Chains A and B, each alone.
Chain A
Amino acid sequence: MTTREKILAAVLQNQSPKNPLPDISQFKGYKENAVKTYMETFDSIGGKAFLVEDMNATKTLIRENFDITQRMVTTLPELEDIANLISPTVDPHTFQDVEVAIIQAHLAVAENGAVWLTEQVMGHRILPYICQHLAVVVEANSIVPTLHEAYAQIGEGQYGFGGFIGGPSKTADIEQALVLGAHGPITMTVFVIQPLPISDNLTT
């Protein structure tokens, strides 16, 4: 008998009488105020969130908030003039001196401040973890209230790796003193892109 067979046989013999799965469809949040809630939550977990109207505004803020003389990388062609577009085929170790990485998230979660990124938008799996500062762009209308809506949207997902990231890397292992930047990014900034409503444009 192999170990596998032995374990499976023991489990089969010892598992409890069948219990049904609960219905979890009642768990959902409210879409109203999702952007505002997101911004507040993200600030409360040590991040910095900006509400911007487009990519140009984002670019201006990046110039103002980061040392762009250092190595800046991105996966967004729109930002090519301030950061280098990365190639997914290079050795991950070459990103060790990245100062700022700018990537776009699929969605963000209002209730916990996290953004969802798959390796496709990361460019490389290591990038959002190894950079000194992480900047993420997210469309306002892709902010969902809770994780339940997030997983409903993600579905099975065509990715080899994906992750929620909710703020700068942190630790409180030494006397519960909060320190940002344990191993990963020391700061995380999110640019929530919310185009001005058309009606506003007409009235002004």
Chain B
Amino acid sequence: MTVGLFIPCYVNQLYPQAAIATLELLQKLNVDVVYPSKQTCCGQPMANSGFEHLTQKCNDLFIENFASFDYIVAPSASCVLHVKDHLHAPENEQLAVSVRSKVYELVEFLTDILKVEKLNARFPHKVGIHQSCHGLRGLHLAQMSELNAAPFSKPAHLLHMVQDLELVSLERPDECCGFGGTFCIAEEAVSVKMGKDRVNDHIKNGAEYITSPDLSCLMHMEGILHRKRSKVKVVHIAQILNSTR
């Protein structure tokens, strides 16, 4: 099994440590991982702003980089969902369908494909999970609070395998943080207010770290935590699962 490592543009540039943790974690689990160096952006920022019609070159490049792998794995739920929902190839749609079907967010790859039941990880901290909306409602990484359906949580399932980690419970376990891509700029006031309220839920319930399968949400919440000089930190779930300290 060879996995193509898809590291979204902003992760590559701003959160390399999350990408490194993803790579290392997969390798620890004996997965053969390759990082195609010519990858760039999945096109989501444009598509969510109404410019999906300009994303074909992103799609073409994505397919070129990743079509040959058995699986494509990324530490970003939002980008994975975009690829799953919107990657097309008018010249060869079959190829796009095949690529869409094998792209996985890291958590779902670990739970659904590798079926990880044991991790050699330790993270002695109180942690709050931020359910990225795209991870939750798009990729179904956990049960959605709106539905009358049995609960489950893939991120929590993995975090429970981490030694000395304590999960905190939140008042609103799956409320949006307000990042929303270009929304964070176009609707700055609402975005910041949503972010403040979200981090306050974690702070109030004693979290030392906020973790998520989505770095874009964490980037937004980190910006807010930092501005309010909070000691609470954000950390991508890959870094916790890869942690041995």
A contacts B directly (C-beta below 8 A): no
Chain A interface residues toward B at CB < 8 A:
none
